[in-house]
């Protein structure tokens, strides 16, 4: 097959194995480039904050790319309960506090995604999913915390991991809760003319 002249190089600006797996389902070749940022935003709403941090991640990679035709995809996920934003806990005690707050309640997962191409312009969007938790058994909670699976995930849990037992119901995109809203990513790639250039 003749290679297209307008072929875009796809770059995932994330070291997350979950995002890598989900993007891989599109059967589009991509490379991974990451850059450390503080993941801090002064925006007001959780949605704006997630979009801002996602764009920061993409821009940090953009600054280190040489010439070429490329599309950077970056992402950020937040958990929101009653207006409180839960990011990554970072340690076991923070994870325990987060999960005890989420126990028996319904929260929202917001995942923002950013596209940045060679023009340097960013396209930001987000998806939301409602997630309801069972009352978490204290013994199961401690067993889960001992695995340290919670430390690198927004809200201290991953829907695809051992904490799946905490969840009673989700309303919306499953992949959004994992950290990469695949359905919306495809939609936005098509809307913005990237889809055919990547395939």
Q: How far apart are CA 59 and CA 21, in angstroms?
A: 22
98 closest CA partner among 111, 114, 85: 85
Inter-residue contact 72 to 11 (CB < 8 Å) = yes
58 closest CA partner among 48, 67, 46, 70: 70
- State yes or no: is 76 an active-site residue: yes
Other beta carbons within 10 Å of 93 = 10
Count H helices and E strands in the chain, helices first.
7, 7
Out of 36, 76, 82, 137, pick the active-site residue: 76
The pairing of beta strand 30-32 with beta strand 167-171: unpaired
19 closest CA partner among 151, 170, 178, 173: 178
84 closest CA partner among 118, 43, 45: 45
Active site amino acids: 76
């Amino acid at each position: 097959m003749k290679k297209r002249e307008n072929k875009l190089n796809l770059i995932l600006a994330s070291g997350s194995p979950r995002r890598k797996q989900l993007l891989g389902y599109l059967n589009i070749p991509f490379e991974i480039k990451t850059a450390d940022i503080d993941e801090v935003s002064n925006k007001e709403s959780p949605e704006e904050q997630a979009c801002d941090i996602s764009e920061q991640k993409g821009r940090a990679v953009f600054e280190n790319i040489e010439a070429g035709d490329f599309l950077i995809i970056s992402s950020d996920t937040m958990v929101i309960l009653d207006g409180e934003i839960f990011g990554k806990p970072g340690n076991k005690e923070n994870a325990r506090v987060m999960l005890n707050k989420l126990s028996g309640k319904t929260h929202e997962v917001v995942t923002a995604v950013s596209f940045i191409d060679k023009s340097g312009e960013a396209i930001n969007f987000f998806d939301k999913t409602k997630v309801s938790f069972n009352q978490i058994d204290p013994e199961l909670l401690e067993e889960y915390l001992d695995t340290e699976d919670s430390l690198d995930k927004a809200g201290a849990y991953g829907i695809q991991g051992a904490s799946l037992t905490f969840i009673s119901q989700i309303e919306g995109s499953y992949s959004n809760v994992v950290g990469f809203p695949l359905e919306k990513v495809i939609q936005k790639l098509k809307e913005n003319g990237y889809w055919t250039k990547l395939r």
